Amino acid sequence: SNRHNEARGALIVLEGLDRSGKTSQSGRLLSYLAGLGYPVESWRFPDRDTSVGQMISSYLSNQSQLDDHTIHLLFSANRWEKRSLMEAKLKSGTSLIVDRYSYSGVAFSAAKGLDIEWCKAPEVGLLAPDLVAYLDIPPEKAAERGGYGGERYEQLEFQKNVAHHYKMLSDASWKMIDACLPMEDVEKQLKEMVLDCVTSCQKGKSISQLWL
Ligand code: 2DT
């Protein structure tokens, strides 16, 4: 039907500490929605493929040093450079499952001691997610899962600080999921909320902007 052709896609964001399972669950959600016949793509931030993304990648792997404010603005710029494509995808009916977004941007920089309002400012005007699913895991539990690579932020004390800032950023609209549950249980909960979200966007929920 006409209405179906005009249906927009949903902007679905997964957030959580390193090792909370975001990347695995993104893959599962992608297959799930695609299997149901919905146009869908899986994205992640930072997007290391752009030139800004390459600067970020080099910083994260400790190959370059940058002032905390500077790297913060690069992470934000990395979202801005994808904004118009993001909007075009959503308007053409493609849903996006995004692994990390502005909340990572603010939580990680604020955990270093930057002012939270200063951190939020460059995110204002980016597209607001239709769903933020937070994979909630105690930092100690995440660390036990192992697989912290050698990247800059992958240390227990820092992750505890990030967790604290995520909690300060969260609001009643966030869907909190106990990420200590077996993967299948997390997956089941996510599928339900994601399908719900895709359906409400199809029905005409409008796209809004950060920061609310
Ligand atoms: P991945 O390990 O998920 O690739 O993330 N980060 C991420 C920030 O500090 N600011 C941001 O805006 C984003 C999107 C979180 C790489 C690291 O980059 C951090 C972990």
pLDDT tens digits, residue range 168-193?
999 999 999 999 999 999 999 999 99
The arithmetic mean of pLDDT across residues 100-122, rounded, is 98
Centroid of chain to Cα 55: 20
- With 90 as the cut, is the pLDDT of residue 43 above it? yes
Q: Is the CB of 72 under 6 A from ligand 1?
A: no
For residue 123, give the nearest of 138, 106, 147 by alpha carbon. Answer: 106
- Give me the amino acid identity at 149: G
183 C-beta neighbours (distance < 10 Å), count: 12
* Spacing, Cα 105 to ligand 1 middle (Å): 7
* Spacing, Cα 188 to ligand 1 middle (Å): 26
| Domain 2-202: CATH superfamily, name plus number | P-loop containing nucleotide triphosphate hydrolases (3.40.50.300)
Coil/strand/helix, residue 112: coil
Q: Is the CB of 105 under 6 A from ligand 1?
A: yes
Measure the CA–CA gap between 156 and 18, rounded to whole angstroms.
10
Q: What's the whole-number average pLDDT of the chain?
A: 96
Residue ranges per domain, the chain? 2-202
Q: Report whether 135 contacts 162 (CB < 8 A).
A: no
Q: CA angle, corner 23, sides to 19 and 28, nearest 5?
A: 130
Ligand 1 atom, smallest distance to 102 CA = 12
Confidence class of residue 2 from pLDDT cuts 50, 70 and 90?
Answer: very low
Q: Number of helices (H) and strands (E), helices first, in the chain?
A: 9, 5
Residue whose CA is closest, atom 2 of ligand 1?
Answer: 18
- With 90 as the cut, is the pLDDT of residue 36 above it? yes
* Residue 10, CA distances (Å) to 79, 128, 175, 201, 209 in order: 17, 10, 15, 6, 13
β partners of residue 43? 98
Percent of the chain whose predicted confidence (pLDDT) is above 90? 93
Residue whose CA is closest, atom 10 of ligand 1?
Answer: 105
Backbone angles phi, psi at 172, to 5 degrees: -60, -20
Q: Is the CB of 60 under 6 A from ligand 1?
A: yes
The dihedral region occupied by 74, where left means phi > 0, alpha psi between -120 and 50, and beta the remainder, is alpha
Query: What's the confidence (pLDDT) of residue 5?
Result: 56
Q: What is the pLDDT of residues 50-99, one digit of tens each?
A: 999 999 999 999 999 999 999 999 999 999 999 999 999 999 999 999 99
Whole-model pTM: value is: 0.96
Q: Is the CB of 53 under 6 A from ligand 1?
A: no
Residue whose CA is closest, atom 4 of ligand 1?
Answer: 46
* Spacing, Cα 191 to ligand 1 middle (Å): 24
N-to-C CA span, the chain: 34
Q: Report whether 209 contacts 124 (CB < 8 A).
A: yes
Q: Report whether 28 contacts 99 (CB < 8 A).
A: no
| Residue scoring higher pLDDT (6 or 132) | 132
- With 50 as the cut, is the pLDDT of residue 1 above it? no
